[in-house]
Structure 1
Amino acid sequence: MRSKLAKYGAILIVVIALASIAQAGCSCRGGGEGTWDGPAWAESTLDGSSNEAATVSGTEAGIGGEEVNQADSDGNDKICSPAISAQKLLDWLGGDSKPLIVYVTNTPPKSSSYIDGSILLPSRSLIQADGSLKPLSDLAEVLGNAGITEDDDLVIYGDCFSCGDDTFVFWAIKYLGHQKVQILQGTPEDWAAAGLPKAATTTTRPAATYSPDTCPELLADYDSVAGGEVQVVDARSPDQFAAGHIDGATNIDYNRVIEDGWIKDDSALTEIFGDLDRDRPVAVYTKNGGRASIVWYALQNLGYDARLYTWNDWLSHQS
């Protein structure tokens, strides 16, 4: 009897291991089959465009437009170490195997200096002129032209976390199935205090071929939102929410999840998201993907199964 139990236990371990390997292509949770029509979504107009702004303390400040979602293959666990401290990055840069540092803000840094070795990947480069996400092949080409491959260790940073560039690009890269990507935690002042090396310009890498392994689970579709399969969070301002929103949506202004240039701590986020059910997926939307991506990032950082949705898609189904 014991030998049979041991045998079955070994088989179960193998099955679990194989299942984990099968999920490793995305390392993200989400809607599963039938939740997203990728080509249709990628060609649809999103709620932000390259001239759309992200509100920072009530003023508009700029990103270009999509929405972001991610989650872990292990249920409500934090995904893929999504943040790295300045000190840990400094230590990493001192080793033999260095990460690729990616600057994602659409304008040069206010300090006129980049982290040494940074390449440039503006969030706007992932968006079409009409505000829609570029097709998959074009996204892969953008990354490849920047010298990025799917095997690179990426550290993303920008000059304005509350503008949403960091979290949007993070989402987009995770959507392409990239495994090793993190956001640099903190502010430019924190990075300078940690002693991260500076440079006056970005660097370039030879063009490469980027082979995506997409994660459609990072997006919610109209049917799942309209059918009540997901909880819906409107990350716009209270005034925008009052002017019109998806039925049943909870208003969580993206400004509420930010403090001192970074995501608030877990205890604060737990209180902010207290009305949400951790056991049900959450779709976050705004008219600006940068804003939605910030709230999405905060949700997944607490282990929620968070996905992205767009106000434009909802409106397109109301006519």
Structure 2
Amino acid sequence: MSELISPIINSTELIKILSSPDLVLVDARNSSNPKKVFLEGHLEGAIFVDPNLELADIKENLAEGGRHPLPKLEAFCKTLGKLGITPESRVVVYDDQLGANSAARFWWMLRALGHEKVQVLEGGFQAAKAAGIPVSTESETLNLAPPYPADQWSLGIADMQEVEAEAWDKEHLVIDVRSAERYRGEHEPIDLIAGHIPGAINFPLTENMDEKGHFFSPEKLREKYAEILGEIPNENIIVHCGSGVSACHTLLAMDYAGLGIPKLYVGSWSEWSRNEKPIGKSL
């Protein structure tokens, strides 16, 4: 069994393990051209993962799974092998959006395979640069490994039907981590329809961090989440966002707080809003 470690690591802690032979440092920054961004400068020793091609299986019809459906399990296991990640690897992943984008998604996907030695770099690329970790423009050599040995996603995944059945149930809780403006239906910059899933509550992922973009302490996070979770058990909680990516930031924060990892609704608002489902607004 893997050693259980904190899901979050800071730059000072990362510097101490940079020379570890079992470390795999992953650049998961997302943009219109992630590979170009990587080659323009990444943390030395980091390897590239494409958030859109390797952490998702994007379909033409977004009503089927939303904007970032999970890739097939077999495909993701092959991706991990290509990256040189084995069950013995210690993985640190970063992005440039305080972990709120693809870094947390990659963390969740690895944890969903049962891999516990995976951490998100707090503050991401910017914080690492500021701490003096060298930046490189060279492609890093991949240490190829066999496909990762896993045969199922072992964390909770909710589908649209489960969300619809449980959103109004007092013994369940659906949490929307998008901004309050998007939840209320005042503004929708990405998807076709503004609003929220009726019955879902809004707890923006920004509530996980202080004004400097650092995660609150586990104690502070537990205090904040206790106010919304009440006595609802972990297995009855579903978290979603716009496309199933930034919701993982909240799953990360809850795990960091010692609250476990609730279910992820991968399709999220991008799927729900394209399937003629009820639309909630708080105008």
Normalising by structure 1, what TM-score? 0.66
Aligned twin of 2:58: 129
Please tell me the residue identity of whatever aligns with 2:11: A
Cα offsets for 1:215-260 (capped at 9, x unmatched): 4333234337624353111112223322333333211122232332
Partner of 2:263: 307
Match of 1:84 in 2: 9
- Give the alignment of 1:218-257 within 5 angstroms: 218-221=156-159, 222-223=161-162, 226-227=165-166, 228=169, 229-243=171-185, 244-257=195-208
Aligned match for 2:29, one of 76, 100, 105: 105
Alpha-carbon distance between aligned partners in 2 of 1:264 and 1:314, rounded to the nearest angstrom: 31
Q: Does 1:288 align with 2:239?
A: no
Partner of 1:214: 152
Secondary structure of the 1:166 match is helix
Distance 1:129 1:224 in 2: 21
The SS at the match of 1:284 is: strand
Report the identity percentage.
26
Q: Is the 8 A contact 2:81 2:144 kept in 1?
A: yes
The aligned runs of 1:36-115 (5 Å cut-off) are 80-95=5-20, 97-106=21-30, 107=34, 112-115=40-43
Aligned residue for 1:204, secondary structure, equals: coil
Are the counterparts in 2 of residues 224 and 230 from structure 1 also a CA contact under 8 Å? no
Q: Which amino acid aligns with 2:248?
A: S
Aligned twin of 1:3: none
C-alpha separation in 1, matches of 2:38 and 2:216: 24
Query: Residues 267 and 147 from structure 1, CA distance in 2 versus in 1: closer, same or farther, beyond 3 angstroms?
Result: closer
Match for residue 116 of structure 1 among 23, 26, 44: 44
1:241-280 CA deviation, whole Å, 9 max, x = no partner? 2233333321112223233233233454345422212651
Contact 1:166 1:183 in 2 (8 A): yes
Q: Following the alignment from structure 2 to structure 1, what is the Cα–Cα distance between the partners of residues 26 and 270?
A: 29
1:37 maps to what in 2?
none
- Relative to structure 1, the CA distance from residue 267 to residue 225 in structure 2 (aligned partners, 3 Å threshold; closer, same or farther) is farther
Q: CA RMSD in A?
A: 3.0
Distance 2:78 2:272 in 1: 29
Q: Which runs of 5+ in 1 are unaligned?
A: 1-23, 28-78
Find the aligned partners of 1:114 and 1:237 in 2 and give their Cα distance: 29
Q: RCO greater where, 1 or 2, for CA within 8 Å and sep 6 or more?
A: 1
CA contact (8 A) 2:163 2:174 kept: no
Q: Does 1:275 align with 2:213?
A: no
2:157/2:263 contact within 8 Å kept:
yes
Match of 2:135 in 1: 198
From the CA coordinates, give the structure whose radius of gyration is larger. Answer: 1
CA distance in structure 1 between the partners assigned to 2:84 and 2:128 by the alignment: 24
Structure 1 range deviating more: 251-260 or 192-201: 192-201
Aligned to 1:4: none
d(CA) in 2 for partners of 1:137, 1:111:
28
Relative to the length of structure 2, the TM-score reads 0.73
Paired with 2:131 and 2:182, the residues of 1 have a C-alpha distance of: 39
Task: Return 237-246 or 150-159, whichever deviates more.
Answer: 237-246
* Residues 146, 206 of structure 1: 8 Å contact kept: yes
Residues 1:203 and 1:219: Cα distance change in structure 2 (over 3 Å): same
Q: Return the alpha-carbon distance in structure 1 between the equivalents of residues 245 and 231 of structure 2.
A: 23
